[in-house]
Amino acid sequence: MDKFVAMVSAKAEVDLRLSDFAPRSQLKTPVHTVERPRFPAIDYHNHLDSLEPSDVLRVLDACGVERIVNITMRTGEAALETMESFHRAAPGRFATIGWMDWSGVERHDFAQLSVDRLERLVEHGACGIKFWKDLGLTVRDDSGELLRIDDERLAPIFEKAAELGVPVMFHSADPDAFFEPIDRFNERYEELAAHPDWSFCGSPVSKSDLLEQRDRVIARHPKTTFVCAHMAESSENLNYVADLLDKNANLCVDISARAAELGRQPYTARAFFLKYADRILFGADLLPEVDMYCLYYRFLETADEYFDYPSHASRQGRWNIYGLHLPDDVLRKVYRENALRLLNLDSN
Ligand SMILES: [Zn+2]
């Protein structure tokens, strides 16, 4: 064979285990470590139930996080106790979003029960209620049917949230790759290999169906403010998110756990942030640690190229990210002002 043809057609046939492959980038480009955010940040999406308030505060103080929202995964009395212990530890630094309690879902008065529970949470200081992906995928009603996100029986809860002036957070569905087979074509193969239970491949409900159900609820309750966590679970398709925001003035999205997705499409993501600066919330959804927050700041503030994204140990995919170098007016809104609005606080 011609030497050149041989050179351009050679392919590797090796047995290096994927889990052992850890290439180091040789790229020499500027590195900007951002230790403090340009404006005091509010982490609108985190889970602190297992942590001591004082330990969390130490991290927040070290990296310029003004406030943090604990989305408690506890329900009932345990939720109220957790909320009170954080709020007491540092009034003004912690806020709490409650977790939708499905106990009693088989009861005919479940909607009223849930409305009462929401009222109680808000009386104790909760600033919202979260509906997780179990709704639509695993929660069943009294007849054993999957409860749909847009089931009309849940409407009083969304209406009550509007009346109480607290947002409803949705984490419905999951990344596209979680609905695909776990095979060599799956871009989140390693993550799914580490957490096979995160896969919804073969689920009776498709991702698009779940999103349609959710989107119908958002449209049906225009007086209720909704926050779709994780870029409305559509960071792979920001056009879709843009369309959803255009159609629903009552909707915001948070960027938590999506720096990897956003940072691999920096041109599209930057344009999206500039256009929807009033509708995007900063959130981490990772254990509060200084290095983790600094990576988020680097992503949002610098024009650095090809660096590690904040993530779980199992990673999200084999790629690196690019900074969005967002302007000050956008950073101020995303880090802080949009969250203050949802927390019913003024921006002084
Ligand atoms: Zn979360």
The alpha carbon of 141 and the centre of ligand 1 are apart by a number of angstroms equal to 24
SS3 content of the chain, % helix, strand, coil (to 5): 40, 10, 45
| Cα 291 to averaged position of ligand 1 atoms, centre (Å) | 19
pLDDT at position 31: 97
Task: Give the tens place of pLDDT for each residue, 154-170.
Answer: 999 999 999 999 999 99
Q: Measured in angstroms, how far is the CA atom of residue 135 from the centroid of ligand 1?
A: 15
- In sequence order, what are the residues at sequence separation of 6 or more whose Cβ sits closer than 8 angstroms to the Cβ of residue 5? none
Cα(296) to centroid(ligand 1), Å: 16
The Å distance, Cα 132 to ligand 1 centre, comes to 9
User: What was the pLDDT predicted at 176?
Assistant: 97
* 118 pLDDT tier (thresholds 50, 70, 90): very high
- Distance between CA atoms of 270 and 56, rounded to whole angstroms? 30
Residue with tokens 């492959």: 21
160 close to 117: Cβ distance less than 8 angstroms = no
CA of 287 relative to ligand 1 center, distance in Å = 10
How confident is the model at residue 1, as a pLDDT? 87
Q: How far is the CA of 284 from the centre of ligand 1 (A)?
A: 8
Tokens 């949802």 map to which residue?
A: 342
288 Cα–ligand 1 center, Å: 13
Does residue 202 register a pLDDT over 80?
A: yes
Secondary structure element (H or E) that encloses residue 67, with its range: strand 65-71
Ligand 1 centroid to Cα of residue 83, in Å, is 16
Mean pLDDT to the nearest integer, 181-209: 96
Give the pLDDT of residue 240: 98
Which run of H or of E encompasses 168? strand 168-170
Separation of 46 CA from ligand 1 center, angstroms?
6
Helices (H) and strands (E) in the chain, counts: 14, 8
Angle between helices 76-89 and 53-62 (to 10 degrees): 50
pTM above 0.85, yes or no: yes
> What is the β-pairing status of strands 65-71 and 168-170?
unpaired
- pLDDT-derived band at 348 (thresholds 50, 70, 90) equals low
Mean pLDDT computed over 106-123: 97
220 three-class SS: helix
- Strand (E) or helix (H) holding 156: helix 155-164
Over 80: is that where the pLDDT of 291 sits? yes
| Ligand 1 centroid, distance to 228 Cα (angstroms) | 11
Residue 95 is which amino acid? A
C-alpha separations of 328 from 200, 210, 286, 339 in Å: 39, 36, 25, 16
Q: pLDDT value at position 347?
A: 73
Give residue for tokens 């004082």.
54
Mean pLDDT of 136-142: 95
Residues with CB under 5 A from ligand 1 (ion): 285
For β-strands 226-228 and 168-170, DSSP reports them as parallel
Give tens-digit pLDDT for 44-100: 999 999 999 999 999 999 999 999 999 999 999 999 999 999 999 998 999 999 999
| Residue 45 Cα to ligand 1 middle (Å) | 6
Check if the beta carbon of residue 90 is closer than 8 Å to that of residue 68. no
Is 80 exceeded by the pLDDT of residue 306? yes
Mean pLDDT in residue range 121-142: 97
- Ligand 1 centroid distance, CA of 307 (Å): 23
